[in-house]
Amino acid sequence: MKDLRDYTYDGLKDLVERFGERPYRARQLHAWLFRGGVESIDEMTDLPKDFRRRLRDGGFYIGVVEVLKTRRSVDGTVKLLLGLEDGSGVECVLIPDGKRLTLCVSTQCGCSLGCRFCMTGGIGPGRNLRLSEMTAEVLAASSLVGSGLIEGYGRITNVVLMGMGEPLLNYDEVLRFITVLTDPKAMGFSTRRVTVSTAGVVPAIKRLGRDADINLAVSLNATTDVVRDRLMPINRRHPLKELLAALRSYPLRKGRRITMEYVLIKGVNDSRDDAYRLVRLLKGIPCKINLIPFNPFPGCGFERPGHERVETFWRILSDNHYSVVTRASRGMDIEAACGQLQGKRGL
């Protein structure tokens, strides 16, 4: 790996040592790369000229990720299409909401889990994104926001790993990304403002509980194995019982809760029985529930339930003392809503 943004602070320390440079050079590099957003080695002006030259001669560089296109929704959501070195495209989405400006980041170029209701799943497996590519999403979006892309918002406040792909299938790289995101000397997001969303890769959830202390979101989407098997093939490997047990023992810091995401699909998982089953299933798990009315796409064969259905589902959960919100679908008109990211170069 020769893109300097593929190195966390620890990696940079080793690199600097290998070059026989003073240890504090790693701190300087780290700050330039992840705070400064420089685009070439020569922009790092406080590094000795000779060190910069030796880095270049050694084949090191700073990858430039191009923003190929931006699309703006009527509701203020903005989708960015980034072009990666190997010619593939990846999308991330900026979602303004009150005081928050959330960036939804992709972790893979596609997804191998093939959930039936998800367009990303439909495009099939793609490769894992590297640290440099995930940080490029944040840096590119930050820089556009900094130059006034979205009126009233000066900077990104929250990051969710909820774009294309299953973050926990790109575990090591995602963990390094979380390190850079939350390191005060790098991107500096508070751990409370970073969320990883998973379809339920149980062994990796257990690992994550030990390795990181960001927020966890889980795409539950069904209350029985029969329905979940059908919607989310990963359920055949890690059924509900196993998933819920892992969530019950997930180490949560005081005051934190797991977010349960539940995509409501008409006639599939949106009945009153489903709502009551959900109440029982989640008992004892400190959580809040996000209901996401299904975002349809051509050829999916599923429909979004009517408002009344959603309202009834919401009320049953809420009457049973769950904190539950119905997530307004943002960016539907530009195919930036949940499950609509494809990374097509045409956007």
Binding site for ligand SAH (CB under 6 A): 117-118, 162, 166, 197-199, 219, 221, 261, 263, 292, 294-295, 338-339
Which lies closer to ligand SF4 via its Cβ, residue 132 or residue 340?
340
Q: Which is nearer to ligand SF4, 162 or 317 (CB)?
A: 162
The Cα-based distances of 180 to 11, 37, 131, 138, 189 in angstroms read 12, 13, 9, 11, 9
Residue with tokens 């990696």: 11
Distance, in Å, from the CA atom of 99 to the CA atom of 252, rounded to the nearest integer, reads 25
Does residue 62 touch ligand SF4 according to CB under 6 A? no
| Annotated catalytic residue, options 39, 43, 91, 115 | 91
Quick one: tokens of 155? 């900077």
Q: How far is the CB of 185 from ligand SAH (least distance, A)?
A: 28
Closest contact distance (angstroms) between CB of 35 and ligand SAH is: 27
**Cβ closest to ligand SAH, residue 84 vs residue 337:** 337
Question: Would you call 338 a catalytic residue per the annotation?
Answer: yes
Least distance between ligand SAH and beta carbon 198 (Å): 5
Contact 269, 227 (CB under 8 A): yes
Tell me the closest approach of the beta carbon of residue 141 to ligand SAH, in angstroms: 17
* Cα–Cα nearest to 171, from 259, 108, 240: 108
Q: Based on CB atoms, which residue is closest to ligand SAH, 135 or 221? A: 221
Restricted to residues 228-267, the positions that interact with ligand SF4 (CB under 6 A) are: none
Calculate the CA dihedral of residues 129, 130, 134, 136 and round it to 10 degrees.
-120
Q: Which stretch binds ligand SF4 (CB under 6 A): 14-22, 94-102, 111-119, 188-196?
A: 111-119
Output 125 or 209, the one with its CB closest to ligand SF4.
125
| Residues of span 145-174 touching ligand SF4 by CB under 6 A | 165-166
Nearer to ligand SAH, 37 or 305 (CB): 305
Note whether 121 binds ligand SF4 by CB under 6 A: yes
The angle that helices 24-31 and 9-18 make with each other, rounded to 10 degrees, is: 130
Q: Nearest approach, Cβ of 333 to ligand SF4 (angstroms)?
A: 20
Tell whether residue 128 is a contact of ligand SF4 (CB under 6 A). no
Exposure string of 304-332, with b = 16+ CB inside 10 Å and e = fewer, is: bbeeebbebbbebbeeeebebebeebbbb
Smallest gap from residue 55 Cβ to ligand SAH (A): 36
Site for ligand SF4 in 186-215 (CB under 6 A): 199
129: contact with ligand SF4 by CB under 6 A: no
Q: Which residues of 187-205 are buried (b: 16+ CB within 10 A; e: fewer)?
A: bebeeebbbbbbbbbbebb
82 is an interface residue for ligand SF4 by CB under 6 A: no
Burial state string for 42-75 with b = 16 or more CB within 10 A and e = fewer than 16: eebeebeeebbeebeeeebebbebeebebbbbeb
- Per the CB < 8 A criterion, the answer to whether 204 and 50 are in contact is no
Please list the residues that pair with 234 across neighbouring strands: none
Asked about 91 being catalytic, the answer comes back as yes
At residue 50, φ and ψ (nearest 5 deg) are: -65, -40
In the complex, the residues that contact ligand SF4 under the rule CB under 6 A are 111, 113-115, 118, 120-121, 165-166, 199, 219, 339
Catalytic amino acids? 91, 338
